[in-house]
């Protein structure tokens, strides 16, 4: 079972309720996405820390039901 972009948004929103999220399906296969995420919670954090928050939100799906997720994170 693959994750839809809506599933990914829902998981991220649980961790970052204020986030503005744009998801692009890079190959049209529901398995390779680019997510652009803006959140106030990213303020003062390094890109690595910001990305860790997002990957923690995705949890066990990363590398299993979700093959690839490219991230662009920004402070709001």
Give pLDDT, residue 2.
87
**All structural domains of the chain with their residue ranges:** 5-75
Q: Is the pLDDT of residue 1 over 90?
A: no
CATH superfamily of 5-75: BolA-like (3.30.300.90)
Residue 69's contacts (CB-CB under 8 Å, 6 or more residues apart) are 8, 33, 34, 35, 54, 55, 58, 62
pLDDT in tens, 9-39: 999 999 999 999 999 999 999 899 999 999 9
* pLDDT over 80 at 52, yes or no: yes
Arithmetic mean of pLDDT, 28-52? 96
Q: What is the pLDDT of residue 18?
A: 98
What CA–CA distance (Å, rounded) separates 23 from 14? Answer: 16
2-6, 16-20, 45-49, 53-57: range with lowest mean pLDDT: 2-6
């Amino acid at each position: 079972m693959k994750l839809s972009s809506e599933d990914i948004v829902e998981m991220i929103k649980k961790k970052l309720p204020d986030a503005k999220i744009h998801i692009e399906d890079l190959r049209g296969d529901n398995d390779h996405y680019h997510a652009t995420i803006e959140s106030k919670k990213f303020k003062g954090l390094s890109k690595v820390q910001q990305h860790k928050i997002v990957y923690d939100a995705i949890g066990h799906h990363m590398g299993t039901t979700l093959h690839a997720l490219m991230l662009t994170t920004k402070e709001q």
